[in-house]
């Protein structure tokens, strides 16, 4: 079913209860009998809506079915596939599955999320039709706003406008038949985030899918699935001591070494630093961060001082600029083009704002940040999601 502009009437809790749209209802849900508000209390699942839904639909249309208004030639598809394979070399350990879109039909939700939030900024910009990149930015920028808890209060209305513009514009880019149920639902995504004050990650099925294997391990026999799971969980609760979970330490230092630059800082040197949100590893892929002062830093050593404080020693990029200006300056999302390293400096671990993915704008076998231009993209998920 294709949704044109103004076709659908917005459902409310009251209209759902009254069954105003009779064709939509097949009886009464048990959740409704429990008093659940069937519209406002059930947010959209972004894993299936945004990634396995819209992002997959965009990629399939461009690279396989070729049904979009702007079709790609065979050689352009091959070039894009080669570019996606090169980008994988620069992705940090948070990205567990790394396949270029030559394997598009086998992609999982996490890989479509990776394109929507990270390497899609390079892939779509390299496509021959600028309209494809402009359309992608409407979608990707809105997702970045709604995935960042610090941005939602101030910019959720902007995300809503971006998604509505994306739905409208995608009819021109991918054809009228592109606007199916999932694409239409993007217009209501910001309202769920606003109402429940949660990010896209918090209203997705990623955590459930990751835990599904543990749930399956609780089943000993076919049939009576729910009673088995409940009984096993009750057994676990009965034998577990009533202990409060210990809080995570602010920083954990791992893999000691003795060979890094320390700028005369006294203390132990480490190759790995884990914070409650991110892990930094001293390599070309996992050692980039954005500081609270706005510096993009390549971390080259981690030091735990004699008083237990953590320091990072590295080089910040001298020049930062916007990667795009429409539909909003990329710097508003902490996305920058960076180039040219400055001399070594030191920062406190508390000065780190977030980990970033740093991709060369022109991927090569070996990157040299003194001459190559990098695309800085803040991380919006950790290795557990």
Share of residues in the chain with pLDDT > 70 (%): 95
pLDDT of residue 246: 63
Angle between helices 152-174 and 189-196 (to 10 degrees): 170
Q: What is the mean predicted confidence (pLDDT) over 360-372?
A: 88
pLDDT digits (tens, 9 = 90+) for 248-275: 667 899 999 998 899 988 999 999 999 8
Q: Which residues of 345-370 are buried (b: 16+ CB within 10 A; e: fewer)?
A: ebbebeebebbbbbbbbebeeebebe
d(C-alpha 289, C-alpha 351), whole Å: 10
CA dihedral of residues 103, 104, 106, 112 (deg, nearest 10): 130
Q: What is the mean predicted confidence (pLDDT) over 302-326?
A: 95
d(C-alpha 385, C-alpha 368), whole Å: 31
pLDDT of residue 7: 54
Q: How far, in Å, are 8, 40, 349 from residue 11 at the CA level?
A: 9, 10, 48
CB of 146 within 8 A of CB of 190? yes
pLDDT of residue 359: 95
Tell me yes or no: is domain 252-378 CATH 3.90.550. Answer: no
Closest CA to 346 of 380, 308, 376, 309: 309
Q: How far, in Å, are 1, 19, 118, 376 from residue 184 at the CA level?
A: 11, 21, 23, 31
Distance of CA 102 to the CA centre of its chain: 21
pLDDT of residue 242: 66
pLDDT of residue 55: 96
pTM for the complete prediction? Answer: 0.90
pLDDT of residue 141: 98
pLDDT digits (tens, 9 = 90+) for 326-356: 999 999 999 999 999 999 999 999 999 999 9
CB of 316 within 8 A of CB of 344? no
Distance of CA 361 to the CA centre of its chain: 20
Give the confidence band of 239 by pLDDT, cuts at 50, 70, 90: confident
Q: What is the mean predicted confidence (pLDDT) over 163-187?
A: 91
pLDDT of residue 285: 86
Q: How far, in Å, are 82, 220, 241 from residue 215 at the CA level?
A: 39, 11, 21
Residue 203 tokens read as 């209203």
Residue 57 tokens read as 């639909």
Give the confidence band of 243 by pLDDT, cuts at 50, 70, 90: low
Q: Provide the residue ranges of all domains of the chain, joining segments of one domain with +.
A: 46-203, 206-237, 252-378
- % helix / strand / coil in the chain, to the nearest 5? 45, 20, 40
**Minimum mean pLDDT range among 8-17, 96-105, 311-320:** 8-17
pLDDT of residue 261: 92
Tokens 């910019």, located at residue: 155
**Minimum mean pLDDT range among 13-22, 38-47, 244-253, 342-351:** 244-253
How much is the mean pLDDT over the chain? 90
pLDDT of residue 384: 47
Give the confidence band of 283 by pLDDT, cuts at 50, 70, 90: confident
Please say whether the dihedral angle defined by the alpha carbons of residues 43, 331, 365 and 130, taken in this order, is positive or negative: positive
335 CB neighbour count, 10 Å cutoff: 20
Q: How far, in Å, are 225, 248, 295 from residue 243 at the CA level?
A: 29, 15, 41
Q: What is the mean predicted confidence (pLDDT) over 135-139?
A: 98
Share of residues in the chain with pLDDT > 90 (%): 61
| pLDDT above 70 (res 35) | yes
pLDDT digits (tens, 9 = 90+) for 77-121: 999 999 999 999 999 988 988 898 888 989 999 999 999 999 999
């Amino acid at each position: 079913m294709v949704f044109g502009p103004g076709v659908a009437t917005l459902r409310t809790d009251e209209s759902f209860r009254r069954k105003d749209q009779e064709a939509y209802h097949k009886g009464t849900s048990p959740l409704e009998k429990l008093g659940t508000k069937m519209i406002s209390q059930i947010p959209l699942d972004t894993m299936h809506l945004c990634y396995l839904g819209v992002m997959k639909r965009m990629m399939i249309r461009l690279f396989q079915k070729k049904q979009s208004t702007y079709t790609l030639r065979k050689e352009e598809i091959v070039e894009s596939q080669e570019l996606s394979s090169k980008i994988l070399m620069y992705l940090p350990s948070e990205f567990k599955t790394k396949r270029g879109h030559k394997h598009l039909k086998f992609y999982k939700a996490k890989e479509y999320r990776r394109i929507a939030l990270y390497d899609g900024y390079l892939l779509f910009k390299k496509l021959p039709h600028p309209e494809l990149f402009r359309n992608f930015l409407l979608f990707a920028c809105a997702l970045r706003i709604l995935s960042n808890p610090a941005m939602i209060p101030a910019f959720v209305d902007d995300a809503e406008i971006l998604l509505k513009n994306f739905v409208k514009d995608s009819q021109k880019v991918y054809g009228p038949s592109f606007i199916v149920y999932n694409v239409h639902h993007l217009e209501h995504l910001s309202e769920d985030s606003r109402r429940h004050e949660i990010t896209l990650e918090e209203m997705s099925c990623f955590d459930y899918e990751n835990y599904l294997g543990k749930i399956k391990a609780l089943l000993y026999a076919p049939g009576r699935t729910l009673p088995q799971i409940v009984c096993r969980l009750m057994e676990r609760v009965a034998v577990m001591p009533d202990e409060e979970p210990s809080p995570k330490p602010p920083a954990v230092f791992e893999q000691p070494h003795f060979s890094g630059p320390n700028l005369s800082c006294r203390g132990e040197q480490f190759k790995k630093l884990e914070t409650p949100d991110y892990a930094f590893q001293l390599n070309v892929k996992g050692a980039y961060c954005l500081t609270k002062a706005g510096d993009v830093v390549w971390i080259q050593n981690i030091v735990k001082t004699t008083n237990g404080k953590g320091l990072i020693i590295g080089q910040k990029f001298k020049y930062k600029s916007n990667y795009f200006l429409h539909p909003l300056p990329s710097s508003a999302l902490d996305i920058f083009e960076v180039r040219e390293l400055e001399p070594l400096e030191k920062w406190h671990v508390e000065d780190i704002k977030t980990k970033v993915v740093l991709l060369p704008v022109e991927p090569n076998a070996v990157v040299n940040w003194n001459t190559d231009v990098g695309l800085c993209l803040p991380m919006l998920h950790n290795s557990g999601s």
